[in-house]
Amino acid sequence: MAQKKVVSRSVDKLQKSKTMVDVPKSRSFFEWMEDFLSKNANILLGIILAFSVLLCGLLFDFKISIGHDDALYLEGSWRYAQNFFGYFYSANAPLYVILMSLPIKLFGLNLGLLKLFSVFFFLAAICITYITFKNRVPYLVLFFGLIIFATNHFYISYASLTYTECFFALVQSIFLNAFFKLIDTINTNGNAINKNWKHWLWMGFWMWVIITTRSVATFSIFAVIVYFIVEKQWKAIPYSVIALAIFWGPWELAKKVLWKGIQTNQYASQGKTLTVVGQNPAGEVETISGYIIRFFENTEIYLSARLWEILGFLPENSPNVRSLTIFTILAILVGLFFAFKNKNKAMFFTILYYGALLSGTFIMLQTFWGQARLVMVYLPFILFTAFYGIYAILEKGALRYIQPIIFLFFFILFVKGMDTTFEKAIKNRPIVSKNLKGDKLAGYTPDYINYFKMSEYCADSLPKESMVAVRKAPMSFIYGKGKDFWAVYSVPTNNADTLLMEWKKGNVSHVILSPIRTDPSYYNPESYVNTVHRYVATIEQTYPGTFQLVKTIGDQEASTLYKINYPVDTTKVE
């Protein structure tokens, strides 16, 4: 009888065991999504790219930006194309400007074609970002971040400009890819240099590339050092520095030899404006406490107003919202915590990387800049961080049953972004249509239309050797068909003789006065960029009749050209 009970219990156990095997454990929403996305990853990437191409077409801009810098880059590239070793772009990091000299050398200042390069860089950045983070973060995190990145109105707008942002987005993703592969080989081979040297060199090369593309990327060195300190891989620190020096050292030597006698320091020009108090390059040098104040003020500017403007939640040039700053910082810290806890080394280093570059930006940058593009380049990584934190919180335990809530967060971000994207596309459609029909100035406000027409007039009608003083010299250069213009960025003194002497030394023969709006969105006759006007007024008050009217273009917000008749009754300007 006892034997029968033992057999019965054994059969019960076997049946229970069999039942547990036969009935599969129910998959969570995340597990189901990961399975679906992994099987269809390449198809989804193709759909994202196709949609991004469509949006790039709808928001394509054939004009030069009124933001000035993209014209400055193209002017520098044109000078490289004319005399490669007779010019060096030192306003900031030069690599992008050097690279763009090649298409300019081949095709000239063809704005439409040059902008297509930027579109290519943007689309390539999407692909490389996908390749870099595939199998390193959950597919749900990857695709949620990638979709918003690929359809973001701000990024797509910059895709048809000639700023450095899209190119930098590409090269920084390649750098991260190189660093991740280095991590993989270290995990496999240890720090043995004889086994990993190719990966060290590859990483060092791309670190040099991002530094020569954007000066703030120099702070990536700190991210690398901190990462290896946390990992207690002490030998990796000098190896990283040496790998960078192998490329940076010859580059610095080449600049001294090939561009002999030319200013080639990419930090010198920026340093004049970043290390002083206020906007005067000759002003008081900033203090340590001043840099600390800058850091906190810029943190609030960029992580609230500018970031959430990029995401479509705030209108352009919105005031700071402290609650959004706190929310953004918390989202990043949560992502950082789980990346460290889960030993996701790729995600951990990514946060260190953009955290170091953002910190460098916040410390060094003057608070009056406040340009959204300076945080835009890290958008996909910030999104990955936020989604990764949410994913990690909901992945296990009782919260796994509310996993679909992550879709709500994604849906809100996506819809707000697309709403702004389509709104801009609708406004842009008639402008693009006019541009394609030959009206290259359609879309500009009257102040710029008159200014660019006058720049073109100077190129066509004035003697070739004439030098014209203007406020927006690089933009005049583009629409003036490559003619040199004299830039007037400030009025350094109230002494008319000194001002005249500066122009006479530069052989300035003419000057353009244009009331360029301080706020492009509306016309206010009392508010315009008056730098050149103040320069001229100072001279005219001392030497009446110095300026002779030559040409006027436009009625309201007219642009006027004056010839300079240098005074003969003073020796100070001769």
pLDDT tens-digit map of 549-573: 999 999 889 999 999 999 876 544 4
pLDDT at residue number 420? 84
For residues 547 and 499, the answer to whether their CB atoms sit within 8 Å is no
Q: 566: burial class by Cβ within 10 Å (0-12, 13-18, 19+)?
A: middle
Identify the weakest region by mean pLDDT among 109-118, 249-258, 365-374: 365-374
Q: Which pLDDT value is given to residue 49? A: 96
pLDDT of residue 357: 96
How far is it, in rounded angstroms, from Cα 401 to Cα 386? 20
- Among 86-95, 268-277, 422-431, the range scoring the smallest mean pLDDT is 268-277
The Cα 278–Cα 261 span in angstroms is 31
The predicted pLDDT at position 402 comes to: 83
In sequence order, the 6+-apart residues with CB closer than 8 A to the CB of 528 are 447, 515, 516, 517, 518
Task: Check pLDDT > 60 for residue 143.
Answer: yes
Contact 448, 558 (CB under 8 A): no
pLDDT of 25 > 60? The answer is no
Report the C-alpha gap between 373 and 376 in whole angstroms: 5
Worst-scoring range by mean pLDDT, 55-64, 387-396, 492-501, 561-570?
561-570
Given a cut of 60, whether residue 72 has pLDDT beyond it is yes
Does residue 5 surpass a pLDDT of 60? no
Across residues 89-106, what is the average pLDDT?
93
pLDDT score recorded for residue 170: 97
Mean pLDDT of 315-329: 89
pLDDT at 508 over 70: yes
- Cα–Cα distance between 256 and 263 in angstroms, integer? 9
The whole-number average pLDDT for the span 1-5 is: 46
Name the pLDDT band for 216 (thresholds 50, 70, 90).
very high
Q: Would the pLDDT of 68 be above 80?
A: no
Q: Six-digit token pair at 370?
A: 């406040």
The pLDDT of 351-368, averaged and rounded, is: 92
What length is written for the chain?
Answer: 574
Residue that the structure tokens 């120099």 belong to: 218
| 383-439 confidence digits (pLDDT tens) | 999 999 999 998 877 777 788 888 888 888 888 888 888 888 888 888 988 988 888
Span 15-29, average pLDDT:
53
The answer, yes or no, to whether residue 454 has pLDDT greater than 70, is yes
Q: Residue 574's pLDDT band (boundaries 50, 70, 90)?
A: very low
In the structure, what pLDDT confidence band is assigned to residue 279 with cuts at 50, 70 and 90? low
pLDDT at 247 over 90: yes
150 pLDDT exceeds 80? Answer: yes
Q: Tell which wins on pLDDT, 192 or 500.
A: 500
- Mean local confidence (pLDDT), 263-270: 76
Q: How many other CB atoms sit within 10 Å of the CB of residue 535?
A: 23
Question: What pLDDT was estimated at residue 350?
Answer: 98
Q: Which two tokens stand for residue 171?
A: 């090269």
